[in-house]
């Protein structure tokens, strides 16, 4: 069976599963944010009074926090009160909160083989650890609060075989933008993207999170990477108990697994990749877009707000200045990332270059706050979506790239290959 079929089989109690089958599954962890939890809580109250298992719930107010206005403060208050009333310990107040898809794995809450649902489409991020993780709606989350379960249609899986050694300045973001440009925004609709191949061993956990994070941008239900030494080393940092209790844990599709499609991706000649407006699938090699002038650059988010992302960006920008016509906003994804980036001197590098460094938040990624674009402005961001109006005005335009390209582009004020700057 494919990796997704194996996990869904174990958690639904059905020995054999076939794609297209509808199943009810026990969910190991379910979470929601300040935009998706309030409607779920409202619906929950119509049908029940007691959360099935508060220990399996996390509430992460990361989107409009620190609360940008009275309405968003009311949303977080509603979540806070609900968490208190229901004994949900994993409610993260600002000062502890971070972008959910960075915060939860770093807290050791995601382990291989789990079923994870989040009322946020980028929940597919967690497949990087060998979990079945997928985004759902608020009603799904309310159903989970009531029953501990979720319904799924068993997905077909596309096997993505990555081969070749990456060139310098090329990483997880470039791979996934290239993959989405090949698949299109609905090329993996309803399906799993299951990754394999020799290139995986070269990819850090941060790169893997970035790749799985954007599985949804090809329409996928989830992305999944089989756990290996890199996974186990990460898990040993964040959840040593789990590693000690699962010596030699492995997920292997075996030879009989059936895939809807196999896709071979040779990444050895890949150059940094950039998605142009207005779809994540509109990918181009960075060299094709070097005339594009930028008003604003954002480095952060559940896609690229991790420590290694900030390290790469700082290495490009150190000793240089942000171009006078361009604004640079850097958003460490969590308090831990913030502190580590501070200790390593990255934040000082950014501030010295003329960037602003903000508190962890999703903020500008969805045009919420802390860096929204005006009419006609052009932005480049390390986030995951560049739909019309995503970062602000419907007539603003947004490009997506890696942190290395974003940092280099902030220095020159136009889309730039990092090697041109460093």
Partner 1 sequence: MKIKGNCWKFGDNINTDLIIPARYMTAYSAEELGRHCMEDADPEFPTKVRPGDIIVAGENFGCGSSREHAVLALKGAGVALVIARSFARIFFRNAINTGLPIIESPEAASAIEAGDDIEVDLSAGRIDNQTTGEQYTIAEFPEFLTQIIEKGGLLPWAKTL
Interacting residues with partner 1 (CB under 8 A): 22, 35-36, 38-39, 42-43, 46-47, 63-64, 69, 71-72, 74-75, 118-121, 123, 135-140, 142-143, 146-147, 151, 153, 185-186, 189-190, 219, 221, 279, 366-368, 385, 387-390, 394
Taking the least distance from each CB to partner 1, the nearer of 186 and 420 is 186
H or E segment to which residue 403 belongs: helix 403-412
> Which segments of 276-349 are extended strands (E)?
283-285, 296-300, 327-331
- Cα distance between residue 28 and residue 131, in whole Å: 10
* Contact (CB, 8 A) for 56 and 86: no
CB of 420 to partner 1, least distance (A): 32
Q: Which of 187, 193, 126, 214 is nearest to 401 (CA)?
A: 214
CB of 189 to partner 1, least distance (A): 6
Taking the least distance from each CB to partner 1, the nearer of 68 and 318 is 68
* Contact (CB, 8 A) for 164 and 201: no
Taking the least distance from each CB to partner 1, the nearer of 39 and 285 is 39
Taking the least distance from each CB to partner 1, the nearer of 385 and 417 is 385
CB of 235 to partner 1, least distance (A): 26
Q: Which of 324, 191, 213 is nearest to 263 (CA)?
A: 191
- Cα distance between residue 293 and residue 416, in whole Å: 10
Tokens of 312: 């790469």
CB of 295 to partner 1, least distance (A): 19
- Cα distance between residue 136 and residue 123, in whole Å: 8
Taking the least distance from each CB to partner 1, the nearer of 227 and 379 is 379
Taking the least distance from each CB to partner 1, the nearer of 173 and 221 is 221
Taking the least distance from each CB to partner 1, the nearer of 98 and 280 is 280
CB of 142 to partner 1, least distance (A): 6
CB of 74 to partner 1, least distance (A): 8
Taking the least distance from each CB to partner 1, the nearer of 217 and 271 is 217
CB of 302 to partner 1, least distance (A): 12
CB of 336 to partner 1, least distance (A): 25
DSSP letters for 29-80: EEEEETTTHHHHHHHHHHH-SS-S-GGGEEEE--SSTTT-SHHHHHHHHHHH
CB of 81 to partner 1, least distance (A): 16
CA 120 to each of CA 25, 130, 138, 191, 286: distance values in angstroms, whole numbers, following the listed order: 19, 19, 9, 17, 29
Burial of residue 57, with CB atoms counted within 10 A of its CB: 0-12 exposed, 13-18 middle, 19 or more buried: buried
Contacts of 211 (CB under 8 A, 6+ apart): 128, 172, 175, 176, 179, 195, 203, 223, 225
Taking the least distance from each CB to partner 1, the nearer of 15 and 69 is 69
Taking the least distance from each CB to partner 1, the nearer of 142 and 404 is 142
CA 211 to each of CA 162, 376, 385: distance values in angstroms, whole numbers, following the listed order: 12, 30, 14
Residue with tokens 């639904």: 12
**Measured distance between the N- and C-terminal CA atoms of the chain, rounded to whole angstroms:** 46
- Cα distance between residue 391 and residue 379, in whole Å: 8
CB of 43 to partner 1, least distance (A): 6
CB of 375 to partner 1, least distance (A): 12
Taking the least distance from each CB to partner 1, the nearer of 47 and 236 is 47
- Cα distance between residue 194 and residue 222, in whole Å: 8
Contacts of 176 (CB under 8 A, 6+ apart): 210, 211, 213, 214, 215, 217
């Amino acid at each position: 069976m494919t990796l997704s079929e194996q996990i869904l089989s174990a958690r639904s109690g059905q020995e054999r599963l076939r794609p297209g089958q509808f199943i009810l599954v026990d969910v190991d962890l379910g979470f929601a944010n300040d935009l998706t939890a309030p409607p779920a809580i409202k619906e929950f109250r119509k049908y029940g009074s007691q959360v099935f298992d508060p220990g399996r719930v996390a509430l992460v107010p990361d989107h409009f926090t620190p609360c940008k206005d009275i309405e968003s403060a009311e949303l977080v208050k509603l979540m806070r009160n609900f968490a208190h009333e229901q004994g949900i310990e994993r409610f993260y107040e600002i000062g502890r909160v971070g972008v959910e898809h960075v915060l939860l794995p770093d807290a050791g809450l995601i382990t291989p083989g789990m079923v994870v649902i989040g009322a946020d489409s980028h929940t597919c991020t967690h497949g990087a650890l060998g979990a079945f993780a997928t985004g759902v709606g608020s009603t799904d989350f309310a159903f989970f609060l009531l029953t501990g379960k979720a319904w799924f249609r068993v997905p077909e899986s596309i096997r993505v075989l990555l081969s070749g050694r990456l060139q310098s300045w090329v990483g997880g973001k470039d791979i996934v933008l290239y993959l989405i440009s090949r698949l299109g925004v609905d090329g993996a609709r309803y399906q799993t993207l299951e990754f394999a191949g020799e290139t995986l061993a070269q990819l850090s956990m941060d790169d893997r999170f970035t790749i799985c994070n954007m599985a949804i941008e090809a329409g996928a239900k989830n992305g999944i990477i089989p756990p290996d030494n890199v996974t186990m080393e990460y898990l040993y940092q964040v959840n040593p108990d789990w590693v000690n209790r699962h010596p030699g844990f492995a997920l292997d599709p075996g030879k009989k697994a059936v895939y809807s499609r196999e896709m071979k991706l040779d990444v050895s000649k890949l150059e940094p990749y950039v998605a142009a407006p207005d779809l994540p699938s509109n990918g181009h090699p960075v060299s094709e877009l070097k005339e594009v002038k930028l008003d604003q650059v954002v480095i952060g988010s559940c896609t690229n707000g991790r420590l290694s992302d900030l390290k790469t960006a700082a290495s490009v920008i150190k000793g240089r200045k942000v171009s006078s016509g361009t604004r640079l906003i850097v958003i460490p994804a969590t308090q831990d990332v913030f502190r580590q980036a501070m200790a390593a001197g990255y934040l000082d590098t950014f501030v010295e270059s003329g960037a602003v460094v903000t508190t962890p938040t999703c903020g500008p990624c969805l045009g919420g706050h802390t860096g929204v674009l005006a009419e006609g402005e052009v932005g480049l961001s390390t986030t995951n979506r560049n739909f019309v109006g995503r970062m602000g005005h419907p007539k603003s335009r947004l490009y997506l790239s890696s942190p290395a390209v974003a940092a280099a582009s902030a220095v020159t004020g136009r889309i730039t290959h990092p090697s041109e700057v460093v």
